[in-house]
Amino acid sequence: MGIHDTIETMEWFIAVLAIVLLGAAAIAAAGGMGQMSRDPVRDIYRQDLPDRPLTAEDLDGLRFGVTLRGYSMAQVDEILDRLGAEIAQRDARIAELSGWLRPQAPLAPELPRGQDIDQRSPAE
């Protein structure tokens, strides 16, 4: 066995070792060397809001989960729907309360019965 045979054997050994290592890396990446969770893992942070009307502090601390295309559309839509409903309720309540506080127009002066507008004296 010459030096040429030793080099050729070493080349084959390195080639086989590289193939084995690449195969092991592929199996590990596919989860074949351990059990991965069957449930999907979501990196969307779900923040539950209180059941009372929202305050400015609730909105200041609000964070939406980030997905591949930006914010989670379902979370944003849910919050916008809730805020829209709450704002509509507040607007209706403000309109109702404003109606109570609206100054009333002064009533027209009452005329004595039987007296016509043309018959009144200019002082009245």
How many C-beta neighbours within 10 Å does residue 7 have?
10
In terms of residue numbers, what domain contains 72?
Answer: 46-102
Number of domains in the chain: 1
Asked, for residue 34, whether it belongs to a domain, the answer is no
Asked, for residue 33, whether it belongs to a domain, the answer is no
Picking from 17-21, 68-72, 90-94, which range would have the lowest pLDDT averaged per residue? 68-72
pLDDT tens-digit map of 29-64: 776 666 656 665 555 666 777 888 877 787 777 777
Asked, for residue 94, whether it belongs to a domain, the answer is yes
Asked, for residue 29, whether it belongs to a domain, the answer is no
Asked, for residue 37, whether it belongs to a domain, the answer is no
C-alpha 85/C-alpha 69 separation (Å) is 27
* Highest-pLDDT range among 31-35, 81-85, 96-100: 81-85
Asked, for residue 84, whether it belongs to a domain, the answer is yes
How many C-beta neighbours within 10 Å does residue 58 have?
13
Asked whether residue 22 carries a pLDDT value surpassing 90, the answer given is yes
